[in-house]
């Protein structure tokens, strides 16, 4: 368990460096073991990241965790027409690198009956894809 915590903390620090290099102002909630591992500010908007690391080609996420992230998103975005806080599940796959899953898109998984959901790298956005998507959101 301690080893996985170290891998997760290492992934958080790596993501902090990547975000800083892309113009974000990130901070890590070290030892939080809560919903928000990293909070970053960029162009007047807040970005919240729940960070995971896996050595496998897929990762399983519990329904309860997705529900909490979706709840966090809606608590900080009371006006659906103007998103002020974006919430992401950020997964570092050992063989595939970083993938980002917008929580608002994970929300659709909750309509099923399963207790856990399997996420694959192809279902997430790579870092550059995330940045392109964010730029599109900001300019719209």
Say whether 140 is catalytic.
no
CATH number of 2-139: 3.40.1350.10
Cα(127)–Cα(5) distance, integer angstroms:
23
Helices (H), the chain: 2-21, 63-75, 103-106, 127-139
Mean pLDDT, to the nearest integer, of 87-112?
88
Cα(93)–Cα(15) distance, integer angstroms:
13
The band of 32, judged by pLDDT with boundaries at 50, 70 and 90, is: low
Q: Is the predicted pLDDT of residue 30 greater than 80, yes or no?
A: no
Q: Which residue has the higher pLDDT, 4 or 135?
A: 135
Q: Is the predicted pLDDT of residue 78 greater than 70, yes or no?
A: yes
In the block, tokens 């950020």 appear at: 90
Give the pLDDT score at 50: 94
Mean pLDDT, to the nearest integer, of 102-109?
83
Would you list the domain boundaries of the chain? 2-139
Active-site choice (32, 108, 139, 140): 32
Q: Decide: 69 and 29 in contact? Cβ < 8 Å.
A: no
Q: Is the predicted pLDDT of residue 131 greater than 60, yes or no?
A: yes
Mean pLDDT, to the nearest integer, of 60-72?
90
Radius of gyration of the chain (CA): 14
- And the tokens for 17? 């460096």
- Other CB atoms within a 10 A radius of the CB of residue 11 amount to 20
pTM, entire model? 0.87
């Amino acid at each position: 368990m301690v080893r996985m915590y170290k891998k997760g903390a290492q992934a958080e620090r790596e993501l902090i460096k990547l975000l800083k290099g892309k113009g974000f102002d990130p901070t890590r909630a070290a030892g939080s073991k809560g919903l928000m591992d990293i909070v970053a500010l960029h162009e007047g908007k807040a970005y919240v990241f729940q960070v995971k690391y896996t050595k496998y080609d897929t990762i399983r996420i519990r329904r309860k965790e997705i529900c909490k992230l979706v709840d966090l998103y809606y608590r900080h975005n009371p006006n659906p027409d103007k998103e002020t806080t974006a919430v992401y599940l950020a997964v570092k796959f050992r063989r595939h690198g970083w993938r980002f899953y917008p929580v608002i898109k994970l929300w659709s998984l909750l309509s099923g009956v399963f207790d856990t959901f399997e996420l694959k790298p192809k279902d997430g956005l790579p870092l550059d894809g995330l940045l392109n998507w964010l730029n599109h959101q900001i300019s719209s």
